[in-house]
Amino acid sequence: MRRVRAGPAVNAHRALRPWPVRPRDRLPLALWDAESLAAAMGGTASEPFQASGVEIDSRDVRSGDLFFALGGENTDGHRFVDKAFAAGAAAAVVERPIDWPHILVDDTGAALRALAAAARRRSAAVRIGVTGSVGKTGVKEAIFVALDRASRGQAHRSVRSYNNHVGVPLSLARMPARSRFGVFEMGMNHAGEIAALTDQVRPDVAVITTIAPAHIENLGSEEAIADAKAEIFAGLEPGGWAVIPADSPHFERLAGHARAAGARILSFGRAAHADVRLLDAIPSANGGALVTADLGDRRVCYSVAEPGEHWIANSLCVMAAVRAAEGDLAAAGLALAEMGGLKGRGARHRVPASGGHALLIDESYNANPASMRATLHQLGQTPATRRIAVLGSMKELGDFAPSFHARLAEPLAAAKVDHAVLVGDEMRALARDLGKGGANALAGGMSFAHCDGPAEAIAALEEYGIAAGDAILVKGSNSVGLGRLVTHFASRNGGGREG
């Protein structure tokens, strides 16, 4: 029997090099543990535990979550602690001892903000803050999917529209230590609110999508809105980027705020001075577009799946933000080509109709004069046998509300809408104008109905009847409740999401 020497194999084994260990690899896999939570919030841990998520609503708790028992004007989160643990919570942050694993603190709201700050400090992620009058949620989602694709799942973002004084710190507290990018939406109703949010996020890149008369009731003018949105630049990290719309009439105002904050400016749009400038946009068969943009040192060509002129502008904003964050522009182009509409913000449904199916476009989450005009324009570009617009009131317009609502007669006519269902008290101004001879002539004989709420609107649309080939736009401020109408028609047997 021949004997085989083991020497070479042993030597080969010894020649193997150890797997390289990077600083990121030493970061914890769990989102939070009891020790780090207690240190971050200045609280006391009842026992060791680990948490995989952070939640403030007991109805949304999943197994492994840390539940914050926040107080409010009308409720106390401590009432829902048992419900949170029944849903699988790992622990809770509370202001009084409980029989479950917990961190005891003096103030749960202050503890959430402290945890957000700790999450920001422990992560080397590039943070992108997004605000604007129109399109901030869609742009935030697009920036996220672009960076998430390039980083192979190491991007983080605020979910839904968690963009206020609770949603922003909650989104920060959920950011894993290993994240390479974090994208955070910031909203406001009054001056000073963005300043408080940007101070928490401390973004490396601050994005303003556009300026339009949203929340004008509280701020009085578009100039004041621009000033309030520009508060986002005050929180920028040294050397940070300000991404602003070159086509806005308030461009110089925004740029002035950015310069005052010491920011580097990256503009986007069609204007000749835009740093990310649109060269060409060719409509595609699916309603999107093939976009070519000049970035100064290069040109990029990519597809945008989302329909509408506003999404061409949004895509330029996304490209500018990704470039400022030193992300992958090619991955951003692929992400834009694959994005589908968000619930309440452009999702498209195939709904059963007489003789086949109709298209229902869900824009029920938000509305202001600029976004109303943009989506009505897109409805006019949508192939259809008939076009139907279900329009809910636009809120927070104050004394400007009657005129802004009445002015929708023109875009309705331009979109060649056959029938409109107008919902809410503020829509009476448009109904009055459409009922007059001159406005009716402008609308080309369009029929319409005015309803007080979503239940009546459902009945009105049922009475009008949906036929095969119809395109139905549903848009209004979220408080009007038109999401109920979308659910009613989209959940019927035979219906489903498009794309």
Per-residue pLDDT at 441? 46
Cβ-based neighbours of 106, under 8 Å, separated by 6 or more = 95
Asked if residue 5 belongs to a domain, the reply is: no
The CA-to-CA distance between both ends of the chain, in Å, stands at 67
Per-residue pLDDT at 496? 57
Per-residue pLDDT at 379? 92
Whether residue 324 sits in one domain with residue 355 = no
pLDDT tens, position by position, 278-313: 999 998 876 789 999 999 999 999 999 888 888 999
DSSP 260: H
Whether residue 364 sits in one domain with residue 475 = yes
**Which residue, 286, 304, 338, sits at the end of a domain?**
338
Whether residue 274 sits in one domain with residue 230 = yes
Instruction: Identify the segments of the chain with pLDDT beneath 70.
Output: 1-29, 215, 217, 286, 437-444, 493-499
Whether residue 410 sits in one domain with residue 330 = no
Number of domains in the chain: 3
75 and 56 in contact (C-beta within 8 Å)? no
* Sequence-ordered alpha helix ranges (H) in 285-400: 309-324, 329-338, 369-381
Which CATH number characterizes residue 104's domain?
3.40.1390.10
Q: What's the half-sphere exposure (Cβ side, CA atoms, 13 Å) at 498? A: 20
Per-residue pLDDT at 396? 83
Using the structure block, give the residue that is written with the tokens 């004394």: 399
User: What is the edge-to-edge ordering of all strands in the sheet holding 155-157?
Assistant: 155-157, 181-185, 126-131, 205-208, 241-245, 264-269, 276-283, 289-294, 299-304
Structural domain harbouring 373: 347-497
Whether residue 315 sits in one domain with residue 209 = yes
Whether residue 309 sits in one domain with residue 175 = yes
DSSP 20: P
Closest CA to 136 of 20, 214, 60, 33: 214
Per-residue pLDDT at 166? 95
Whether residue 493 sits in one domain with residue 358 = yes
Whether residue 469 sits in one domain with residue 357 = yes
Whether residue 289 sits in one domain with residue 190 = yes
C-alpha pair distances (Å), 55 with each of 38, 74, 352: 17, 19, 37
Whether residue 323 sits in one domain with residue 225 = yes
Per-residue pLDDT at 497? 58
Closest CA to 313 of 475, 134, 187: 134
Per-residue pLDDT at 309? 86
Instruction: Please report, for the chain, how many H helices and E strands are present, in that order.
Output: 19, 23
pLDDT tens, position by position, 254-279: 999 999 999 999 999 999 999 999 99
334 and 150 in contact (C-beta within 8 Å)? no
Q: How far apart are CA 270 and CA 278, in angstroms?
A: 5
Tell me whether residue 332 is exposed, middle or buried, using C-beta atoms within 10 angstroms of its C-beta: 0 to 12, 13 to 18, 19 or more. Answer: buried
Whether residue 206 sits in one domain with residue 60 = no
Whether residue 357 sits in one domain with residue 327 = no
